[in-house]
Structure 1
Amino acid sequence: MVLAALSILSAGLPTLKKGWIAIKNFTLNIYFLMSLAVIGALVIGKWPEAAMVVFLFAIAEAIEALSLERARNAIKSLTALAPETAEVMIDGGWKDQPVASVLLGSRIRVRTGSRVPLDASVESGRAALDQAPITGESLPVDKQVGDPLYAGSIVTDGVVEATVTAVAGESTLARIAAAIQDAQSQRAPTQRFVDQFARYYTPAVVVLALLVAALGPVLFAGTWGDWLYQALVLLVIACPCALVVSTPITVVSGLAAAAKHGILIKGGAYLESGRLLKVVALDKTGTLTQGKPVLTDNEPFGDLPIEMALQIAASLDEHSTHPVAKALVSGWKLQQPDAATLPVEDFGVLNGRGVKGNIDGQSWHLGNHRLVEELGVCSPALEARLSLLENAGKTVIVLCAASGPVAIFAVADTVRPESFAAVTALKALNVVPVMLTGDNPATAKSIAAQLGIQDARGNLMPEDKQTAVAELKRRFGSVGMVGDGVNDAPALAQADIGFAMGAAGTATALETADVAIMDDDPRKIADFISLSRRCASVLKQNIGLALGIKVVFLALALSGHATLWMAVFADMGASLLVVFNGLRLLRR
């Protein structure tokens, strides 16, 4: 009895204290049930059982708390990555300075093996960086002048000097931390249901235990003491510990698993509802394609060698700031890295059509289909060649001499190498992919054909995309929308779940999206849906385990075959089962 009393005093006081607080506040919770069971066992002289109830309950509570903390720490470890000091240029020399005191616009240096202390833009040097904690990318990313650096990423090779673009509290890492903390504070639908269920379940159990204690001796054989003991067994067995802990441990583990892979989910509600998506609408530019036009075709149309024609075209376009002109010049530099541009005289921009200029005394025009028609040099043969490229979704540029067209070039936004796998993965999950783009229908159909998307819609303004998402919801049900978080904002808001791509580089995307993909990999959309389905499966398993074990032992208790020892082990066992089952998501 002395050992039992010591056990109750050492392990049971916190539980009894919380039980007393529950009684004072008229709250019938887990601690009230356990306190009632312990006090009842002491009253009828079952000291060893009372000691075991409170001791094992304390152990189960500690394991549950540690497990939940482990899941939360898995997230904290992703966000507590930035070093405490930065190497800053001060008065012409490099000095270590606390990160919190580094000002916007300061020049910092990051060397091999070091973590980037603050978001910055590279000013000089080259380096390979491991950005996995921020974007989930598995391979190092090469950085050069003008490229962004994210706080917390690691320089695996090289040295760079960079200008700070965000102070410590406003870095991408800090925004991720804030978003995750907000997500953890939100209750998932299943968690709200379980909490609501426990509100009514616990008082019902207390009433049932009272009925068993009061009516058992009257309606059935046995003494008052025997039935009071069975009522106490019923209280312990019916304690909803496992049920209450089953949801938060699973949801937090799911959020942590997603964050590890560069998927930032803004709350348990979105983690749970992802499994319901029937359609995912994808913006084309920057999501399925690179978002940067590149030179794809250069064909001669006459006797001029294509290498010379490309050099002339690049010489003319080098003076233009148009994205198509930049793509042509970049393509020329890749094909002729040792060549130089030719001097251009009398250069002029032909708005909406192209450019013109003189090279070595010869007049040249470089521009689109409309310019060729205006010059009066279009022919059936040229029309056929241009139509072929235009129907493939490409922007066509024609180089014309005074005598007529001499070369045809085509520029297009190329498909991301991951996009085909992303669309295939969505189809494998029985989710319908739909393309929504502001580009012309020919380009939309061309890209869609390469990716195997049946429904591709072009010439859509932001409000048109919003209307399209609303129509998809009526047809299919739950819809996800993938965009850039800025001009796709109306469609993202209309969708059940809005996804923002490349969110590591934009504060807007982190704030507006329900799910932020930290890099530009569209395959992570399917990864998110798969994780949501696994999470839902684990939640169902946990709730089934918690309730199933309770039902079996409740039946044993009501039939008089259960003991307090069995009740405690059943309650503790169920709690540990659901905890460890929920933590499985962290290993994905």
Structure 2
Amino acid sequence: MVKDVNKHCHCDSHDNHQKQKNNHNHNLHDHNHSHDHTEVKEHQHGDDCCSSKPQSLTELSESKTIDGFQLTQIRIMQMDCPVEENIIRKKLGEMKAVKELHFNLIQRVLTVTHRPDALDSILAVIRQLDFEPEIYNKNDKSPQSVEHKKQYWLLILASLAAILAEITHFMKFPWWVQLILALIAVAACGIKTYKKGWISIRNFDLNINALMSIAVTGALILGQWPEAAMVMVLFNIAELIEAKSLDRARNAISSLMNLTPNTTMVQQQDGSWQETEVSSVKINDIIKIKPGERIGLDGIITHGQTTINQAPITGESLPIDKSKGDQIFAGTINETGLFEYSVTSLANDSTIARIIHAVEEAQANRAPIQRFVDRFSRIYTPTVLLIALIIAILPPMLHFGTWSEWIYKALIMLVIACPCALVISTPITIVSGLTLAARRGILVKGGVYLELGRQLKYLALDKTGTITHGKPIQTNQVIYGELDPNQGFTLAASLANNSNHPISQAVAKAASDLTLYTVEQFEEVVGKGIKGVVQGQIYYLGNLRLTNEIISCDEAIKKQVEQFENQGKTVILLNNGQQILGLFAIADTIKDSSQEAINELHQLGVKTVMLTGDNASTAQAIAKEVGIDEARGNQLPQDKYDVIVKYSRQGTTGMVGDGINDAPALAAARIGFAMGSLGTDTAIETADVALMDDDLRKIPEFIRLSKRTHNVIIQNISFALGIKLVFLVLTFIGMGTMWMAVFADVGASLLVVANGLRLLKN
């Protein structure tokens, strides 16, 4: 049986989510926060399938083979609504060669996992359903809208015929004149509706086309010719408007790709410059950018300096100065200088391309409220159909009216029975929220996280790079014993130079003018420091905890350490396993935005806790300055993990960080935030929410966006159900007409689409 990732999703509980997130292989020495978002063949009880994704973000359009099965993305431009999804799912689900199906209605993309020899058969089946499938090209910048111009003249003809039918009915023309005009109107614009409706009925799935076909045919049989004609015309006009409205949501995402130019100036082998298609540029090509131009590809500046506006990606308003050796990104704007840069990634693998693909794919990661609406809609339509059948048969059998009167009411009920407005009420809003977040430099990896944001009660933060700039400098050094001060400093710097930790880099940078020793058998001691062998002697460089494990620290040195820590500085000690050789104090500066961000979080009702491997005194000093509720120092990876688990029992908990000590805690948190993810492949691929710059204020902004998105979803569900309910009541009391039913169905759809798109204007 084909696995349908949209249907079989039982992941509403926190426990399931927690189990899924904790199922990673989190070795404490591994700093990769890697959530597994790939599809699996079977779901064990309690697994979280809502985080499943059909493919890697960087391989969206290419067919790819997994365990002997091929994964192909197919764009179906006529697939607008769950009714089309149901028909395709039923037909492809019968094929033994098809393993998995994943539908993205907003982007009109079907992802199929199938046997390699079955693609032609799959496309043929889709064509039999009167759809036009094409292999999805992720590099296509063209608008994702269906061509409607060919339909216009037929719709105009149908409208004129329907209006004339109404006029002739009002002026008491012969019945056959009204009938002919009505048939002309229905034939001109309704053939496609009837064709889709027949396919639906043949596949035992009564979608809106089938319901409308039955209702219009019933009205014609009952002699309601002008009304039948006008209902079909209004339905087609409304469908056209709805399709155009949905195109706005689709193009809101794809328009991000238009931030990059189509061409750029590339240096040729003879030194000349030639305008070249961005898609044809290769890695290591040299590109020249003039002031005011948009950058087409990611790269490294090789000549010149300038100021870059990175707002299209990061949302940050202030331009950034760039010079030789600095990284630049596609979609950003060169404001001042002329410069040249070397290309580091192809057009389809640029940072902006990965962001777009991540937003598109995030739609698969459905929010709980969206899954609830989908389940409810599957109950809603059969229920209304049953009521319509009862209305058509029972009252006239009990002599409460004529058969034609109650059959007419039942036909109205058929039109109202379609749940399109209800089903699209949530995804259209989620897509708008995801797109708005991406525009502001917040990459949210699914509707589930966008909804969870409003529920955040606790937020744990790493210190270095999150609250502070993450660029500490060495402020003090003390060399003990008979060791030459220069030699002691060189030993420490030699060890530190082998580590990427900001504290180690501060020591190494301070010794940039010294000739360093060769270090052998270098090793990171997680949460404590580093060690290595220099000229046959082992040396340790780390915090007081590491030092106490190796050698006894006398009181005089402890007092010096305490003195520096009370100043908010981090202290590391150098020892050779026999005696302490030196002390190095490092200070990091707090970001200007950190205090404001913490204040905003508190206003939103979020309690903050800082978890750092730094000493307790430094942690308390920084927490007090910034306004953090709780600070915990000397935190090992397991300690951070335990804190997250503790708070998770009390409410939705998030974790911000990206260091070697953060991986288990990030995995345990309900939402894992990665700071400063611009240009970082791993963060874009694996974080639940990736902040494209290092501004902590984006987290309260994300929470506010989550609240607004949820409010709009509730409004849309209320609109969709409320309008239907009103017209159901009107039908029961005899005041409803088929005209009203059409407005109730398609009008509700237009309303929820317009309301969902309203988020994009914020």
TM-score surpassing 0.5? yes
Which residue of structure 1 lines up, in the alignment, with residue 395 of structure 2? 216
Which residue of structure 2 lines up, in the alignment, with residue 478 of structure 1? 652
- Is 1:431–2:606 an aligned residue pair? yes
Which structure exhibits the higher relative contact order, with contacts defined as CA atoms closer than 8 Å and separated by 6 or more residues? 1
Q: Which amino acid aligns with 2:218?
A: G
Q: CA deviation at 1:506?
A: 0.7
Q: Which amino acid aligns with 1:499?
A: F
Q: CA deviation at 1:502?
A: 1.1
- Is 1:415–2:593 an aligned residue pair? no
Which residue of structure 2 lines up, in the alignment, with residue 455 of structure 1? 630
Q: CA deviation at 1:568?
A: 2.2
Counterpart Cα distance in 2 of 1:552 and 1:535: 26
TM-score under structure 2 length normalisation: 0.64
Which residue of structure 1 lines up, in the alignment, with residue 237 of structure 2? 59
Q: CA deviation at 1:379?
A: 12
The partner residue of 2:672 within 481, 485, 498 is: 498
Q: CA deviation at 1:127?
A: 0.6
Counterpart Cα distance in 2 of 1:47 and 1:61: 21
Unpaired runs of 5+ residues, structure 1, are 299-311, 333-340, 354-367, 370-377, 399-407
Q: Which amino acid aligns with 1:75?
A: I
Counterpart Cα distance in 1 of 2:224 and 2:517: 99
Which residue of structure 1 lines up, in the alignment, with residue 223 of structure 2? 45
Alignment of 1:526-537 (within 5 A): 526-537=700-711
Q: In the comparison of the two structures, how many residue pairs are matched?
A: 532
SS of 2:348 mapped into structure 1: helix
Q: CA deviation at 1:83?
A: 2.5
SS of 2:472 mapped into structure 1: strand
Alpha-carbon contact 2:570-2:614 (below 8 Å) kept: no
Counterpart Cα distance in 1 of 2:401 and 2:591: 76
Q: Deviations over 1:17-56 (max 9, x none)?
A: 2211111111122222222211111110112222222222
The partner residue of 1:265 within 431, 441, 444 is: 444
Q: Which amino acid aligns with 1:430?
A: G
Q: What is the root-mean-square deviation in Å for CA atoms of aligned residues?
A: 3.5
The partner residue of 1:36 within 204, 214, 219 is: 214
Alpha-carbon contact 1:67-1:579 (below 8 Å) kept: yes
Counterpart Cα distance in 2 of 1:242 and 1:326: 56
Counterpart Cα distance in 2 of 1:383 and 1:491: 31
Q: Deviations over 1:274-296 (max 9, x none)?
A: 22221111111111110001467
Q: Deviations over 1:61-104 (max 9, x none)?
A: 22222222212211211133223333333335142333334333
Which residue of structure 1 lines up, in the alignment, with residue 354 of structure 2? 175
Counterpart Cα distance in 2 of 1:324 and 1:550: 62
Q: 1:220 to 1:248 in 2, by over 3 A?
A: farther
Which residue of structure 2 lines up, in the alignment, with residue 575 of structure 1? 749
Q: 1:255 to 1:7 in 2, by over 3 A?
A: farther
Q: 1:543 to 1:379 in 2, by over 3 A?
A: closer
Q: CA deviation at 1:586?
A: 0.7
SS of 2:448 mapped into structure 1: helix
- Is 1:511–2:685 an aligned residue pair? yes
Q: Which moved more, 1:233-242 or 1:541-550?
A: 233-242
- Is 1:93–2:268 an aligned residue pair? no
Which residue of structure 1 lines up, in the alignment, with residue 319 of structure 2? 140
Higher-helix-fraction structure: 1
Q: CA deviation at 1:4?
A: 2.8
Q: CA deviation at 1:449?
A: 0.9
Which residue of structure 2 lines up, in the alignment, with residue 291 of structure 1? 470
Which residue of structure 2 lines up, in the alignment, with residue 278 of structure 1? 457
Percent identity among equivalent residues? 54
Alignment of 1:151-170 (within 5 A): 151-170=330-349
Q: CA deviation at 1:410?
A: 6.0
Which residue of structure 1 lines up, in the alignment, with residue 642 of structure 2? 467
SS of 2:618 mapped into structure 1: helix
Q: Which moved more, 1:76-85 or 1:536-545?
A: 76-85
Alpha-carbon contact 1:485-1:508 (below 8 Å) kept: no
Which residue of structure 1 lines up, in the alignment, with residue 694 of structure 2? 520
Alpha-carbon contact 2:309-2:319 (below 8 Å) kept: yes
Q: CA deviation at 1:395?
A: 3.9
Q: Which moved more, 1:89-98 or 1:507-516?
A: 89-98
Unpaired runs of 5+ residues, structure 2, are 1-177, 478-484, 497-501, 523-528, 531-542, 545-553, 574-582
Alpha-carbon contact 1:466-1:494 (below 8 Å) kept: yes
Q: 1:520 to 1:191 in 2, by over 3 A?
A: same
Counterpart Cα distance in 1 of 2:216 and 2:601: 53
Alpha-carbon contact 1:473-1:479 (below 8 Å) kept: yes
Counterpart Cα distance in 1 of 2:257 and 2:617: 44
Q: CA deviation at 1:347?
A: 10
Q: 1:568 to 1:86 in 2, by over 3 A?
A: closer
- Is 1:390–2:390 an aligned residue pair? no
Counterpart Cα distance in 2 of 1:498 and 1:124: 38
Counterpart Cα distance in 1 of 2:369 and 2:668: 24
Q: Deviations over 1:370-423 (max 9, x none)?
A: xxxxxxxx999x99887444213214699xxxxxxxxx9964111111111111
Q: CA deviation at 1:324?
A: 6.6
SS of 1:137 mapped into structure 2: coil
Q: 1:295 to 1:241 in 2, by over 3 A?
A: same
Mark the structure with the bigger radius of gyration: 1
Q: Which moved more, 1:1-10 or 1:438-447?
A: 1-10
Alignment of 1:22-421 (within 5 A): 22-96=200-274, 97-219=276-398, 221-294=400-473, 387-395=562-570, 411-421=586-596
Q: CA deviation at 1:129?
A: 0.7
Counterpart Cα distance in 2 of 1:169 and 1:486: 30
SS of 1:415 mapped into structure 2: coil
Counterpart Cα distance in 2 of 1:126 and 1:464: 45
Q: Which amino acid aligns with 2:318?
A: L
Q: Which amino acid aligns with 2:693?
A: D
Q: Which amino acid aligns with 1:532?
A: S
Q: 1:479 to 1:212 in 2, by over 3 A?
A: same
Q: CA deviation at 1:510?
A: 0.6
